Amino acid sequence: MRKSRRTHVVVVAAMLSTMVPAPSATAAEHADLFAFDASPGSFVGSGQTVSSTTNVFILGTSTTSSIEMVGYGNGEQYTLRFSAPSGETLSVGAYAAPDPVDGPSPDPGIGFMGGGDACSGHGSFVIHDLQVDGGGLPTAIAATWSFECEGYSAPIVGRIRIGSTAALPALSVLRESREYPGPFYAGETSEFVTHVVAATGELPVTFGTLSTAGPHPADFVIANDTCSDSTIQPGTSCELSVAFSPT
């Protein structure tokens, strides 16, 4: 059997960031931040890169069980929401969010909408700093997150910081549509395409084992991977190569 497929290769870290302690009184000052990098083909924010330090805030209806945040980019308003499992509250830590935030759930939830688009989806988030007032309501937060609409293999990766001095990690990954000229027969392998992953934030980034994803992950192979199970410092990078190898 022969196959020829046009694919959008997206490199995703198994662990986007490491846990960091709450900022101390001597922590470096960092501005409020709303930033995300949306893969081409993502339902919300498709192909956009946003980084804004103004008009970022926590909605007054938020609680430590459900924190809703607003940011602006490229002339559009976006809303990001983290929710705790039913009966629990959010705190500093890492959360896998397999379910939408449409209602009570035994699992954490994440939602992201904006630019006139909204969808149910799943993802993950790491809260690096969370501060509350005397009534237990959130007043400051710093977090990294990823989100993917149901039915779309195009993740959105972002950072948000409101009223916090916590530093945040970030990645810059070469993403592009790649045509592997064919046809290829099962068992054949295309030329490898190298992708560079750079740490562009304020903290080191620690990876787990990288893997392929999407509708046909088994049809792609990774080689020359210097990213998996490593930590890269701000301003440095790692790389990996991906090839099409139909099964």
Q: Which of 178, 179, 189, 142 is nearest to 35 (CA)?
A: 142
pLDDT at 101: 56
Mean pLDDT of 120-124: 88
Mean of all residue pLDDT scores within the chain: 81
CB under 8 A, 24+ apart: contacts of 217-224 = 218/247, 219/3, 219/5, 219/244, 219/245, 219/246, 219/247, 220/7, 220/9, 220/244, 220/245, 221/189, 221/245, 223/192, 224/192, 224/194
Locus of tokens 């910081």 = 161
Regarding predicted confidence, which is higher, 225 or 102? 225
pTM, full prediction: 0.75
Mean pLDDT of 191-216: 84
pLDDT in tens, 149-194: 888 777 888 999 999 999 998 877 655 556 666 778 888 888 888 8
Report how far residue 216's alpha carbon sits from residue 121's, in angstroms, rounded to the nearest whole number.
Answer: 20
For residue 102, name the pLDDT band (cuts at 50, 70, 90): low
Query: DSSP state, 99?
Result: B
pLDDT in tens, 59-76: 998 999 999 999 999 899
Report how far residue 139's alpha carbon sits from residue 77's, in angstroms, rounded to the nearest whole number.
Answer: 20
pLDDT at 222: 92
Q: Which of 226, 224, 230 is nearest to 206 (CA)?
A: 230
CA atoms within 13 A of residue 91's CA, in its CB half-sphere: 3
Mean pLDDT of 9-38: 53
- CA angle in degrees (0–180, nearest 5) for 131-81-112: 145
Report how far residue 147's alpha carbon sits from residue 56's, in angstroms, rounded to the nearest whole number.
Answer: 19
According to DSSP, the β-strands at 2-3 and 156-162 are unpaired
